A and B are shown apart, each in its own frame.
Chain A
Amino acid sequence: MLDITDLHANIDGKEILKGLSLHVKAGEVAAIMGPNGSGKSTLSYVVAGRAGYEATGGSIMLNGEDILAMEANERAAKGIFLAFQYPLEIPGVTTMTFLKAAMNAQRKQRGEEELTTPDFIKRVRVAADKLGVSQDMLRRPLNVGFSGGEKKRMEVLQMVLLEPKVAILDETDSGLDIDALRIVAEGVNALRSPDRAFVVITHYQRLLDYIVPDSVHILSAGRIVKSGDKELAHELEKNGYRDYVADAA
């Protein structure tokens, strides 16, 4: 479903991704683990299409279609979703206004009908209830004054509503206490399906106790240096990254 091949990317003239390849099948949950500075967040930005994070070589294919030349919004409409490590605050824009704009913008780009207001409200209510997102949060400006846990739950709510094909979770566990982590993980697990793939980027194994991956990939110095099953994550937890950091160097 998501095929990244020999990806190179520079940030401010410095090469961060150095020939990264990763193939994630439909229905698969792939965990990307790696030390700080290995390029984890850069990978998520390059896939999502952030300006200034352009690839200098290689390809990113979504269901056989090259997405590298697309703007971030086009990639989103095609089914790429990035759950941000640090979700942005958008003052003055209520969460409901934002959700509706995002859902309809994607539908419009895909040539689908816009949602009716009752349909939209119903979808939000059902999803919000499951994630413990209060009506008050939905009325407030997007992420403004939200706690870390609330922001992450809001990311998952957006993911649920936007129904992506490939969801990338960038350090979604950072700053979460154990209860918030469980809620977020349940939200993700509920979305697992045979026609959806996940890329779960994390520094720690902890999140993977809740979102159990099908594959684990170690990212070091801009490349995937080892792939394995979920046992690889446990091994990392025990031994740390030092073997792989040395490898890369």
Chain B
Amino acid sequence: MTPRPPAIRTKAETALAESFAQSRASLPGGDAVRGQRIRAFDVFHERGLPHRRIEAWHYTDLRNLMREAYPITIGGAAAPLSGLRVVIQDGVCTLPTGALPAGLKLTALRDALAGASDELVHSLFPDQGADDAMVAFNAAMARDGVLIEIAPGAVIAAPIELSFISSGDAPHGDISRSLVLVGEGARASILESHAAPTKVQRNSAMIFSVGAGASLAHVFETCAGSPELHVSTLIGDVGKDARFESFAFVCAGEVLRRQAFVRGSGEGAKIALRGINLLKGKQHADTTLVVDHAVPHGESRELFKTILDGAASCVFQGKVVVRPHAQKTDGGMKSQAILLSDDAAMYNKPELEIFADDVVCGHGATVGQLDAEQIFYLMARGLPRVQAEGMIIEGFAREALEFVGDENIRERLGAGLTDWLARRAS
């Protein structure tokens, strides 16, 4: 076999490779986990940081955006919180104190990895998305995260909060991988919020599996001072007659890549991925989705509303795959953007790959400015221009927000939307 010529490495790629070399001996997990990590690192090493010639990353050229890789810290544990609040600080999990509701089990991933069964290893390192370089790097390097297990039939009423934070002032990277296993007929919701007080490069992954007849709702939220660069990956599997819904509220952070690889693997699986992007300045947010309908009678809905001001840019890439036997699939995808400035840019790329003949799949993508007639209508009723514009923008975004099931979260995100608009107007 001819040896492969050495690839040209960027400074960041070299630094990331070195960090794996240095930490591989100390990463948690037995032989099976180690095998997964080495395989994953090979994927990363072969591909390097994703760049514009990789189609899925065309509009988010990470090789260019990540000139420097900050050192990956191995942080200490944070102060534990009460209730259903898990803290992931610098990639290290701190579980809440106090009793948990019946049917809910939380384990720090580092502990779960120590004696992981083959089944757990298989769940934690799924094939979906495995050839994505950033997912691979996450698999290779993640030391910790949280394992959330919901027993069959259990109903966890309150959302389980995962708060991703960072410590210290020095620029650093953090990596975490979490696993959510929802048993048959169970119900739970997760609120994932991200903040970082310093220059942080974050690579977080959440892997989930929703058992037959079960339901999982997920909310992803950026907070003030979100990471400078964040690659967030959602990988999951939705079982028979099960439901998975995810909603993203993005208004902070400089560069955010959210990618989701979700498979409907049981008949009647329902998948909904929705969100709002509120971006200004030079913010860049990329939402790249792959929804895979593997069996009949699946349903998927995607709805993203984006508001761009300043020189912000946003990417929506939504791929829906309907496999040959997945008849009666019902798919609907929509991405709508309003540009408030001449310098803002929206890249919409819906993709349907349909191999079955009896399906209903539609997609719509729009990019536009605020409607002058709507503005005039509201002004003619007495609203000053800024208020009229704000009302139209807010209404546009609220159409998506309506889908957040948890009333408290919906109201809080709504208040975040109102705040964002107020700051824009002031």
Would B382 and A48 count as touching, CB distance under 8 A? Answer: no
What string of 1s and 0s marks CB contacts (under 8 Å) between B357-377 and chain A? 000000000000001111011
Q: Say how far B176's CB is from chain A's closest CB, in angstroms.
A: 35
Residue A205 interfacial (CB < 8 Å)? no
Given A73-B388, A101-B391; A91-B383 close (CB under 8 Å)? no
CA A48 – CA B376 in complex, angstroms?
9
Which chain A residues lie closer than 8 Å to B381 at the CB level? 73, 76, 98, 102, 105-106, 158, 162
Residue A77 interfacial (CB < 8 Å)? yes
Would B380 and A71 count as touching, CB distance under 8 A? Answer: no
Would B385 and A90 count as touching, CB distance under 8 A? Answer: no
Residue B392 interfacial (CB < 8 Å)? yes
Q: Say how far A150's CB is from chain B's closest CB, in angstroms.
A: 16
CA A82 – CA B379 in complex, angstroms?
11
CA A97 – CA B377 in complex, angstroms?
15
Which chain B residues lie closer than 8 Å to A88 at the CB level? 371, 373-374, 377
Which chain A residues lie closer than 8 Å to B420 at the CB level? none
Would A92 and B399 count as touching, CB distance under 8 A? Answer: yes
- Contacts of B367-409 to chain A: CB distance below 8 A: 371-374, 376-385, 387-388, 391-392, 394-399
For B382, give its contact among A87, A97, A109 (CB under 8 Å): A109
Q: Which A residue's beta carbon lies closest to that of B372?
A: A51
Interface of B is mostly: helix
Q: Say how far A69's CB is from chain B's closest CB, in angstroms.
A: 15
Q: Say how far B327's CB is from chain A's closest CB, in angstroms.
A: 32
Would B382 and A73 count as touching, CB distance under 8 A? Answer: yes
Residue A149 interfacial (CB < 8 Å)? no
Given A88-B373, A88-B377, A90-B377; A73-B395 close (CB under 8 Å)? no
Would B382 and A84 count as touching, CB distance under 8 A? Answer: no
Would B387 and A105 count as touching, CB distance under 8 A? Answer: yes
Q: Say how far A23's CB is from chain B's closest CB, in angstroms.
A: 22
- Contacts of A125-143 to chain B: CB distance below 8 A: 141
Would B388 and A92 count as touching, CB distance under 8 A? Answer: no
Which chain A residues lie closer than 8 Å to B399 at the CB level? 91-92
Q: Say how far A46's CB is from chain B's closest CB, in angstroms.
A: 12
What string of 1s and 0s marks CB contacts (under 8 Å) between A69-112 and chain B? 00111011100011010011011110001100111011001000
- 19 extra A-B contacts, CB within 8 A, seeds A73-B385, A77-B382: A49-B379, A72-B376, A73-B382, A73-B383, A73-B384, A76-B380, A90-B374, A90-B391, A90-B395, A91-B395, A91-B396, A92-B394, A98-B391, A103-B382, A105-B382, A105-B384, A106-B381, A109-B382, A141-B395
Listed by A's residue number, 11 A-B pairs whose Cβ atoms lie within 8 Å are A71-B379, A73-B382, A73-B383, A81-B380, A91-B399, A92-B396, A92-B397, A98-B378, A101-B391, A105-B387, A106-B381
| A-B pairs, 5 with minimum CB distance | A92-B395, A93-B395, A106-B382, A72-B379, A76-B382
